[in-house]
Structure 1
Amino acid sequence: MNWSTRSIREASRNGDYGRVVRLARTDARLSQRQLGDASGLSQSAISRLESRGAASYDMAVLARVASHLRIPLGIVGLAERVQVSGPMERRNFLTAAAATAAAPVISSIAPDRHTDDSQTAPVRMATTAYRRLDGVTPARQLIEPVRAHLQLVQNLAQGEEDDRQRARLAAAGSEAASLAGWLSWDMGDLGSARTWYGTSITAARRAGDHLLTAYQIGSMAQLEAHTGNGAQALALVTTARRQLDSPMAVADAWLLTIEALAHAAIGAAAAADRALNAAGDATDHLADEAPPPWPWVFPFNQAKVAAARLSCGVRLGLTEWISTAQDATDPVLTSGHEKQRALLLLDIAHGHLAAGRLDGAFAMARTALETGLRYRSGRTVERARTLRRAYKSRTPPRVVREFDELLHDAHL
């Protein structure tokens, strides 16, 4: 595609990015449905995008479509990625970025039993900032500063003489250790992930905070469920529930989705369905648009229940679960967390593959794999390999061969 043609330049200059998409799609000889399948969107969503004219656009959706069509981001009004080179520059960049990311959450962390104005609030804000950076930063670049941050929190706790303040710092350390576990999981280092999650559970217990302990045990259960250890995940979910002093809708809904994934890992479809239905009921009791309660960082909603059903459908080989849940996952697919979107795209690709739609499956999987390689996400790349193993043919079509070339060149 020649991006300097008069029609492209005029559409870009006028802010008619939908027309740019239509021109690029036509040049690529793709239908709206094919582009939608490859981008994780419906045909009607592509149609609406192309007909928006100079109106405002959902930048996340626009970026996904532009990425698949190889449209230079500047042409559709999106900033190019900032490149940071060298370990020292990267550390300095991440420190500055963490401070920037913390700015909007400062006012949201009000003093409570978990914080005070001296040490705990700042370290918790730093953890939250690093967690938000995870959505747009390779885990391998974040893990070192997060580990250094955790060491700082642990040193502060060891030197604290006041019991209440030491407990608050232990809770803050638990959050930081949990983030280190999440980053290790993303890198594909499951041994380190389990170690860090174990550290987070120990610190939460040391803090005497039952809700935080339940959250960290649930996080460990989530890891085990996703890696196929269903029985262990179910045992951990049961332990997590025992920590709760009273029923809490967000905790109930979240743990039920993990329970469903654990049942799916052992092939128990009926039990998984019951857990997902219960999770949906619990989510209905959550206040709309209300900020999530600590220690949850991001809101829990029906879109996340749908994403869990989609993942369960992949593990159970139930294509109807995948197809019915796909539309409800749009808020996750248009979120700012690219690595999470990539994992969900791979689940949707599994559904296309099971239905025999090879072009849509592997075009979507390629988009997800490119994200995984860009962020050096071992978890995403391994999921892409799982998808490829599910398709067997001695004469794979071109779209599969191109996917294979990209996958074979993956060196994380």
Structure 2
Amino acid sequence: MSWSKQAIRDASRESDYGRVIQLARREQGLTQRQLGEACGLTQSAVSRLEGRAAGPYNMSILASAAAYLGLSPRLVGLADGTAVSAADGRDPVERREFLAGAVAAAATPALAALPMPERQEAGQAATLRLATTAFRRMDGSTPSRQLSEVVFAHLRLVQSVAAEAPDEDQRVRLAAVGSEAASLAGWLSWDMGDHGSARTWYGSAIKAARRSGNRLLAAYQIGSLAQMEADAGNAAQGLNLTRSARRQLGTNAPAVADAWLCTVEALAHAAAGDELSTDHALVRSRTAAALITAEEPPPWPWVFTFDEAKIAACRVTCGARLGLPIWVFGKRDEVATAMPSSHAKQHALLQLDLAAGHQAAGRLEAAYVLATQAVESGLRYRSGRVVERARVFRRAYTSSTPPKVVRTFDDRLHGVYL
């Protein structure tokens, strides 16, 4: 996609950076809510950003939105230099350079906006954490194989800085930062279909979180590994890890942590085929989510908001695992809430869950139209997780004489290598 369109250039020259964001968002077919969710912002924050014709702008919000949309920092007044087009179509070296530059543009203004005492206290840890956050936000629209090289280099930097830290206090803070970066490396490996590497990275993230003494972070990392195991069908392992994560949380856990862990538990119960326990876990998640303050930004490492849409999406996924079309389609408003997403790979996975519901109900045409769309997204973003989920979906249908729509899907999947 080219950002050299006249309207965006004109808005940039007039320093109407809110208008630049608005035009870029509309060009990509995103709503304000979707952009806000991708950047960890509320819809109203995006609306205020776009409505400021001449500033003053919150540079952290502006940088986050620009980085997610793939805008050149110069187009929104964040950096000097020539305009940069969107990174699609670049060679791998150019792509990595673009990603690193976009993250730097997103992180630097955010750090500058911190109160001085916090900046002095956090130092290098704050800078490195902001970079990790920016990388995580870019995951939704960036192939993991491209983003992973930058993240692995970032993780090595964190490790080298931690090794040279002069005192224990700094080493503790940097252990938390290293945990966050290792967790992101695990997530990217999972998306690439490399479960062995993902387990290794998540193990490193858990160990580092424990060294940091941050129980919330340790619980998140254990829960993330539990989520991967549940997704892979390892129900017992997923449930054991979820219980371990809850022990880490202890009492007085944030509502968002409880709500999220309940959805992980639901996925594990669904993997075990336990419908009743799955439903109970989802009910508990809704109860906990109702306690989350709507305008309060989610605490790290919950970069993105956790709300009813996430629970609705989890119910769809659980329904697909359990072979219950009524769960997938029983509450249409929930499905409508769950589907809009600016995270392309997550959206594709949810499409496959909906397709599984159609297939279980005997609606093959609708099922394979959705599944084909999901596969195209998986191939576009080179997501091994999406493609493997598509293969699992296909194996659920057995017939010696499959209809044309199924044969066409088979032809698309045949010979796919990522």
- Is TM > 0.5 for Structure 1 vs Structure 2? yes
Aligned residue runs from structure 1 range 244-323, under 5 A: 244-245=249-250, 246-323=252-329
**Contact preservation (8 Å) 2:356, 2:393:** yes
Deviations 1:53-96 (A, max 9, x none): xxx899248xxxxxxxxxxxxxxxxx996424333212211112
1:177 paired to 2:182: yes
TM-score, with structure 1 as normaliser? 0.78
Percent identity over the alignment?
56
1:86 paired to 2:56: no
Aligned residue runs from structure 1 range 95-244, under 5 A: 95-102=100-107, 106=111, 116-244=121-249
Unaligned runs of 5+ in 1: 1-55, 62-78
Structure 2 CA distance for partners of 1:103 and 1:122, relative to 1, 3 Å: closer
Partner of 2:43: none
**CA distance, structure 2, for counterparts of residue 382 and residue 208 of structure 1:** 36
Structure 2 CA distance for partners of 1:321 and 1:144, relative to 1, 3 Å: same
The Cα of 1:123 is off from its aligned counterpart by 0.4
**CA distance, structure 2, for counterparts of residue 121 and residue 83 of structure 1:** 30
Unaligned runs of 5+ in 2: 1-25, 32-70, 72-84
Count of residues in correspondence between the two structures: 342
Secondary structure at the aligned position of 2:398 is classed as coil
TM-score, with structure 2 as normaliser? 0.77
**CA distance, structure 1, for counterparts of residue 333 and residue 27 of structure 2:** 19
Equivalent position to 1:59, from 29, 54, 57: 29
Partner of 2:410: 404
Secondary structure at the aligned position of 2:141 is classed as coil
**Contact preservation (8 Å) 1:307, 1:326:** no
**Contact preservation (8 Å) 1:225, 1:262:** yes
Deviations 1:181-208 (A, max 9, x none): 0000000000000000000000001111
**Contact preservation (8 Å) 1:114, 1:168:** no
Partner of 2:56: none
The Cα of 1:331 is off from its aligned counterpart by 4.5
**Contact preservation (8 Å) 2:233, 2:271:** yes
**Contact preservation (8 Å) 1:346, 1:365:** yes
Secondary structure at the aligned position of 1:203 is classed as helix
**CA distance, structure 1, for counterparts of residue 390 and residue 113 of structure 2:** 37
**CA distance, structure 2, for counterparts of residue 273 and residue 124 of structure 1:** 36
**Contact preservation (8 Å) 2:189, 2:197:** yes
Structure 2 CA distance for partners of 1:58 and 1:96, relative to 1, 3 Å: closer
**CA distance, structure 2, for counterparts of residue 107 and residue 303 of structure 1:** 33
Secondary structure at the aligned position of 1:59 is classed as coil
The Cα of 1:107 is off from its aligned counterpart by 7.3
The Cα of 1:113 is off from its aligned counterpart by 8.3
1:381 paired to 2:384: no
The Cα of 1:109 is off from its aligned counterpart by 6.7
**CA distance, structure 1, for counterparts of residue 113 and residue 348 of structure 2:** 29
Secondary structure at the aligned position of 2:292 is classed as coil
Deviations 1:274-298 (A, max 9, x none): 1110101111111124211122101
Structure 2 CA distance for partners of 1:332 and 1:318, relative to 1, 3 Å: closer
Aligned residue runs from structure 1 range 294-373, under 5 A: 294-325=300-331, 327-373=333-379
**CA distance, structure 1, for counterparts of residue 221 and residue 149 of structure 2:** 21
Structure 2 CA distance for partners of 1:110 and 1:280, relative to 1, 3 Å: farther
**CA distance, structure 2, for counterparts of residue 302 and residue 406 of structure 1:** 34
**CA distance, structure 1, for counterparts of residue 376 and residue 117 of structure 2:** 42
**CA distance, structure 1, for counterparts of residue 355 and residue 117 of structure 2:** 44
The one-letter code sitting in structure 2 at the alignment partner of 1:341 is H
The one-letter code sitting in structure 2 at the alignment partner of 1:214 is A
**Contact preservation (8 Å) 1:138, 1:377:** yes
**CA distance, structure 1, for counterparts of residue 365 and residue 330 of structure 2:** 20
The Cα of 1:394 is off from its aligned counterpart by 2.7
**Contact preservation (8 Å) 1:197, 1:220:** yes
Farther off after superposition, 155-164 or 387-396: 387-396
**CA distance, structure 2, for counterparts of residue 357 and residue 133 of structure 1:** 35
The one-letter code sitting in structure 2 at the alignment partner of 1:206 is R
